[in-house]
Structure 1
Amino acid sequence: MFLWRAEVQPGVSVAFTDTNAGNLALHVGDDAAAVLRRRTQLEHAAGVAPRRFQYMNQVHGNEVSLVVESGSAAEPGAAAPQAPTADAMVSLGGPLAVMVADCIPLVLVGAGASGPVLAAVHAGRPGLFSGVIPAAVEQMRASGAEDIRAWLGPSVCGNCYEVPAELRDEVADLLPSAWSTTTWGTPALDLPAGATSQLAALGVPIEYRGPCTLENESLFSYRRDSRSGRFAGLVWTHD
């Protein structure tokens, strides 16, 4: 169910799911009741229940939502909690989830005066280009976070993410570190390298880097299969 999971500091855990957890997205044509059951199973496996992971309606933008934890119980088959339309969320300890199938699921954890400040970020090409990562870090710091650290989940790597040369040049004009070439010699973008340079400029160290989604059969990849499901990056607090 978990590709990687760790208690990253006392009382805070980060995890990235794999295909064994199943598709966790409601927008890919899957049966909604089945998706909600998987989400509930994930919450129990993570030890989050009766709290629920907060998901987003992700739109490849740079909007950041400040989330207040509802504390509602996760019942099998229950309706999904209201999801903000955003590509990053920040909470003061409430469990957060970001769904991907090649984009970067970025998790951030900082220390606040009254406890951990958490963030989950959907960082695909448009989001990186429009500054979703700096926006999320800015919101965390506005919420009192210090000593912010990052976990870069699995995403398509710079050796595999083939794009037209014009697109590579457009992105690299703003984010030179994202310029790349595939292993077969065609233009590419390196999203993890782009995210790494943005985090470095913000003074945020990276604690973990996940593998390539396209190269790893245990992860969903839209580039491998356009009917792909979505796996999740997760962050939560616990006793």
Structure 2
Amino acid sequence: MEPAPELAPGIRYAVTDRHGGFSQAPFDARNLGGATEDSFEDVLRNRELTARELGLAPDRVVWMRQVHSATVARVSRPWGADAPALDAVLTSEPGLALAALAADCASVLLGDPVARLVGAAHSGRVGTLTGVVPHLVAAMSEAGADPARMTALVGPMACGHCYEVPEAMRAEASATLPALWSTTRQGTPALDIRAAITAQLTTAGIGEIRHDPRCTIEDPELFSHRRDQRTGRFASYIWLEDSNGPK
């Protein structure tokens, strides 16, 4: 993997792809999702490999039990096998990486370099509608972060031209979040999760919003549940460097 880029001063992030791990088809090869049908032993090997390639301690990565909720928690260490059901985390612990899994949903990373706080959220259709990202921004603000100082990265996801849904679902969702309304290239009803999350971040006053614009359905380098059904999960990581550099 390439060296982790900087999201803001003292804050690093990474977005994985499906290459370079140990999993066998159809989860090949760097599947990081433990709630798949893949061998969990291979998933753990992939997680350890990825952490080491990023310069992280494998036992210093926080994994969530993602359930499409708006629940947020502040963490100071990994949960291990007892991770609670939630979809966003934040920390002020240097070297503690936060990971959000995806295979069509969005991962959203947030960092305030002055308050030394970082956060990660998993936001699909349900999580976006229930406001997991605004909840994370609020939790970070309560912990001392300033939205105007925050930088956000909105990761790869199923794009608004590919995320086809029934007309009734589009109508109901866009009644709550108008930015969700979209159509596919074929003219059928769709949802634009990226546009909706961007609108939420803008409303929350986030100072800088960046995008990894790749569409998971269109890009074979990424896992996509909608494209492949039985497949793996890639991850977006964020962490604070400590005073001695990346951990």
How high is the TM-score relative to the length of structure 2?
0.88
Deviations, residues 165-196 of structure 1 (Å, cap 9, x unaligned) = 00001010010011000001100000000000
Number of residue equivalences: 228
TM-fit CA distance, 1:126:
0.2
Preserved contact between residue 88 and residue 132 of structure 1 (Cα < 8 Å)? yes
1:146-161 aligned at under 5 Å gives the runs: 146=146, 147-161=149-163
Structure 1 match to 2:112: 110
Q: Residue 121 of structure 1 aligns to a residue in which SS?
A: strand
TM-fit CA distance, 1:111:
3.4
Preserved contact between residue 11 and residue 113 of structure 2 (Cα < 8 Å)? no
Q: Residue 225 of structure 2 aligns to a residue in which SS?
A: coil
TM-fit CA distance, 1:50:
5.4
Please point out which of 52, 60, 66 is paired with 1:58: 66
2: CA distance, partners of 1:68 / 1:229: 27
Q: Residue 41 of structure 1 aligns to a residue in which SS?
A: helix
1:137 correspondence with 2:140? no
Q: Residue 68 of structure 1 aligns to a residue in which SS?
A: coil
Gaps of 5+ in 2: 21-29
Q: Residue 15 of structure 2 aligns to a residue in which SS?
A: strand
1:225 correspondence with 2:228? yes
1:20 correspondence with 2:22? no
TM-fit CA distance, 1:148:
1.3
Deviations, residues 179-215 of structure 1 (Å, cap 9, x unaligned) = 0000011000000000000000001131233310001
Q: Residue 139 of structure 2 aligns to a residue in which SS?
A: helix
- CA gap of 1:223–1:81, structure 2 versus 1, over 3 A, is same
- CA gap of 1:148–1:58, structure 2 versus 1, over 3 A, is same
Q: Residue 59 of structure 1 aligns to a residue in which SS?
A: coil
Preserved contact between residue 11 and residue 238 of structure 2 (Cα < 8 Å)? yes
2: CA distance, partners of 1:208 / 1:184: 25
Structure 2 match to 1:197: 199
TM-fit CA distance, 1:30:
1.0
Structure 2 match to 1:75: none
2: CA distance, partners of 1:188 / 1:62: 22
TM-fit CA distance, 1:127:
0.3
Preserved contact between residue 10 and residue 113 of structure 2 (Cα < 8 Å)? no
How high is the TM-score relative to the length of structure 1?
0.90
Preserved contact between residue 102 and residue 214 of structure 1 (Cα < 8 Å)? yes
1: CA distance, partners of 2:82 / 2:150: 27
Preserved contact between residue 112 and residue 144 of structure 1 (Cα < 8 Å)? no
Q: Residue 186 of structure 2 aligns to a residue in which SS?
A: coil
Structure 2 match to 1:87: 87
Gaps of 5+ in 1: 73-79
TM-fit CA distance, 1:135:
0.4
Matched AA of 1:90:
L
Structure 1 match to 2:53: 45
Q: Residue 45 of structure 2 aligns to a residue in which SS?
A: helix
Q: Residue 235 of structure 1 aligns to a residue in which SS?
A: strand
Aligned identity (percent) is: 40
1:36 correspondence with 2:39? no
2: CA distance, partners of 1:84 / 1:66: 12
TM-fit CA distance, 1:81:
4.9
Q: Residue 42 of structure 1 aligns to a residue in which SS?
A: helix
Matched AA of 1:128:
T
TM-fit CA distance, 1:159:
0.3
TM-fit CA distance, 1:51:
4.6
